[in-house]
Structure 1
Amino acid sequence: MKTINCIAIDDEPMALIVIEKFCMRKGGLHLTTFSEPRTGLEEIRRTKPDIVFLDIHMNSISGIEIANMLPHECCFIFTTAYAQYALDGFNLDAVDFLHKPFSYERFETAVEKAMRRIGTHKSAKAANLIVKQEYTNVSIPLSDILYIEALGNYVKIMRVSGGHVFTRTNLKSITDMLPSEDFIRIHRSYIIPIAAVASFSKTRITLKNKDTDLPIGAQHAPAVIKKLQEHIISENH
């Protein structure tokens, strides 16, 4: 059985001990705990665990704020003594909401829900990009991506079928979610699917669909041109 990597953040040490005991009882869960929320968030961003257990009412920063900053692929479960936060949790697409003190059986149910979501995400990952638009997860077929553009704190994903999706993230995070053999970053503001390129020069790219014309950034140009030339050679063999 594959080990599921987990991180728990709670400024109450006893709460972390309970989660640790329950993870050991469940088995197959590798848990790292943090009583300092911002340190825990840094580790989540660095390691991208499968499941995050997250207290809401903490002194330095709330769990709601942390949930808004988690990588898209992280499933998270809120653990809190304050039941009034349950609606916030579900609006943020939390896997579950554990109201302290919770039983092992309730904990196990939440973890199994998270594991099912992880399995669904992984099976969909090969053919889809899953991002969050407002409070909803949106699954976009990779074949339906025309190009991806950075706009301040958001990313706009233009679709071949028309329309677009806005998600609060950055291009680095999106790049990490895409297959590197099929997509390439051509500019600090743009990612494109390689197969969509109709023509290119040292400074511009034209895409097949809708004749979209995009710039190639100077620092990206050598890698972009090399990759596109390799793609043309492989297509002709």
Structure 2
Amino acid sequence: MNRTLKCIAIDDEPMALLVIEQFCRRKGGLEITTFSEPYIGLEAICQSKPDLVFLDIQMSSISGLRIAEILPKECCFIFTTAYAEYALEGFNLDAVDFLHKPFAYERFETAVEKALRRIESRRTENPECLVVKQEYTNVSIPLKDILYIEALGNYVKIVRCSGGHVLTRTNLKSLTDLLPEGAFLRIHRSYVIPRSAVISFSRTRVILKGYEEGIPVGAQYAGQVMEMLSQ
């Protein structure tokens, strides 16, 4: 990857931003803009859609965890924080990496290299497939082979039409963001379905081809389900 990557760093500690800025210059190929006010940084992210975001977690006006939840889906992000207890929650939000302050340049470089690999894989991946990690292996699942997707705690289960399932450590929102827009529909806080597989539906249940037991519709999603599937 030879092009310069656009990066944004948000941290309410100016010295922490200075370190990231220096490390980005040392690494090369990273165009960095820094923000000490989280809301202004978030606005800049939504407008410019950078390739990579460095994000502190415990800030005075808004948590970095909350910002991560509403980042544009194409943004990769790395958490930078002094509080190690946030690591698990950070990874559940599909962070590329978690840098525990104070971190050395070598650790920073490792995190950036991981981000570069993820960005590159997104550019080259087959749009007809969903690629997820199961344990230590990347698994490519044809979109047409997805029967439904179910959230299970810190994991997501992808049930396949051809039989069996794939279990990946992520959350439902992060995985849904990887799916083509309009082809899949979230019908419950724990379920996403392919629209093309729907045989019949009501405000409480959706019946799928190959799965006549059906999937429950969450009360808060009922209106959206009725509107989307009636089109």
TM-score range, shorter chain: 0.5 to 0.7
Match of 2:207 in 1: 206
Structure-2 separation of matches of 1:223 and 1:45: 26
Question: How much does 1:31 deviate?
Answer: 2.5
Query: Could you tell me which amino acid in structure 1 is paired with residue 84 of structure 2?
Result: Y
Higher radius of gyration, 1 or 2: 1
Q: 1:224 aligns with which of 214, 226, 229?
A: 229
Number of residues of Structure 1 aligned to a counterpart in Structure 2: 215
User: CA 1:89/1:13 → structure 2, altered by over 3 Å: closer, same or farther?
Assistant: farther
State TM-score, norm by structure 1.
Answer: 0.58
What is the alpha-carbon root mean square deviation over aligned residues?
A: 4.9
Match of 1:12 in 2: 13
State TM-score, norm by structure 2.
Answer: 0.59
Match of 1:234 in 2: none
1:15-164 map, 5 Å: 15-41=16-42, 44=45, 49-55=50-56, 58-60=59-61, 65=65, 69=69, 74-79=75-80, 82=82, 85=84, 88=87, 92=91, 94-95=96-97, 97=99, 99-100=101-102, 102-103=104-105, 107-124=108-125, 126=127, 127-128=129-130, 130=132, 141=141, 142-148=143-149, 159-160=159-160, 161-162=163-164
Which structure features the higher share of helix residues? 1
Question: How much does 1:52 deviate?
Answer: 2.2
Structure-1 separation of matches of 2:213 and 2:50: 37
- Which consecutive residues of structure 2, in runs of 5 or more, have no partner in the other structure? none
1:134-185 deviation digits (Å, cap 9, x = unpaired): xx9996723443224689x999655133468685455xx655421236x243
Question: How much does 1:115 deviate?
Answer: 0.5
* Secondary structure in 2 matching 1:6: strand
Structure-2 separation of matches of 1:53 and 1:196: 39
Match of 1:232 in 2: none
Structure-2 separation of matches of 1:156 and 1:139: 13
* Secondary structure in 2 matching 1:211: strand
Give percent identity, aligned residues only: 43
Structure-2 separation of matches of 1:47 and 1:146: 35
Match of 1:177 in 2: 178
Question: How much does 1:34 deviate?
Answer: 1.7
* Secondary structure in 1 matching 2:12: coil
User: CA 1:112/1:12 → structure 2, altered by over 3 Å: closer, same or farther?
Assistant: same
